[in-house]
Amino acid sequence: MASEKIAVAMSGGVDSSITALLLKDQGFDIVGVTLQMWNSDEITSGCCSTKAVDEAREFAEKIGVPHYVVDVREDFKQCVVKNFVEEYMQARTPNPCVVCNPNVKWKGILQKAEELGCSKIATGHYAQIASENNRYFVRRGVDLTKDQSYVMWRLNQEQLAKTLFPLGKYMKSEIKELAVKYGFDDLAKKSESQEICFIPDDDYRGFLRQYVPNINEIIKKGDFILADGKKIGTHEGFPFYTIGQRKGLGIALGVPAYVQAINKENNTITVGYRDDLLTNELIVSNMHFVKYESFTEAKQIAAKIRYNTQPAACRVEILPNQMYKVTFDQPVWAVTPGQSAVFYDGEDVIAGGTIEQ
């Protein structure tokens, strides 16, 4: 009897490489698939680099599995990069991984997997897939310091049903130990980029200037102000800042100052003290339901408003026009329009949406 054929998303890094090895050892028929998403030689690490394609191909050869490259550069540019630029130009802070996962990564890998006769795909994400009541959903990874469930909320039921996350039950330290055990010491020591994958040196301001050539004509310098309207300095233009930003403001209040609000219409940026960014409420749009089909009444659950935080207890109420009001039991810091609010029932992702205010 032929073994089940699985397409493994490979980036050349330790996580996707060990994913392929684990599944191969379990007897699955493995093929490697790498997405070519960007063509800049300036990017030397991360899933968007051209180097990642070469490293994934080399690793596939070493472990004896077929390897395919899928060119999704145009999709990535039109979907992820366009959204990234547009959001900043609207005084919002985008979340490119959330946009990329369903619309580029899963789309590209699943399409290739179908062509190759694969029944499922697997990735090296630290998350888990579960199912109840004929619904598939994402569950947090065992290693909560690496958990990536936050960026998975827009995956649809078909995508989730065909996905495996083999690393979801492992700690990152265990994966590095496995790399050594398999004889890939260099892979275990490989550094990981924490930056936006398609932006060298994490310089998103330079990226905006490159992709909006007339940005200096469109966006003028403006005023840094306090909550009472007092002018305290000059900023370089509202797209170059984000809520909660402290570094690079070039102003002095005697204590650390943070971006509190960005007003596109007036081209003003309100700054304040850290506690000024605490709030109990936010509004969410574009809600996508995962574990359940919908909310029919208010729910007491928990939510994350950024990647590197823990879920906080909150109440979600349904508003008109498919909007939702989220009220936290305790204040949360730096609510940022454009970012994701992801809702949890224990370890399970219930839904996610886009923060509006």
Active site residue 118: no
Cβ proximity of 269 and 263 under 8 Å: yes
Length of the chain: 357
Buried b (16+ CB within 10 A) or exposed e, 135-156: ebbbbbbbbeebbbbbbbbbbe
Active site residue 197: yes
Query: What residues are paired with 299 via a beta bridge?
Result: 316
Q: How far apart are CA 283 and CA 306, in angstroms?
A: 15
Buried b (16+ CB within 10 A) or exposed e, 176-186: bebbeebebee
Antiparallel, parallel or unpaired: β 268-272 and 222-225: parallel
Pull the structure tokens for residue 18.
């060990």
Residue 126 CB contacts under 8 Å (≥ 6 apart), including other chains? 15, 141, 142, 143, 146, 147, 148, 165, 167, 168, 170, 172
Catalytic residue selected from 79, 100, 118, 314: 100
Catalytic residues: 100, 197
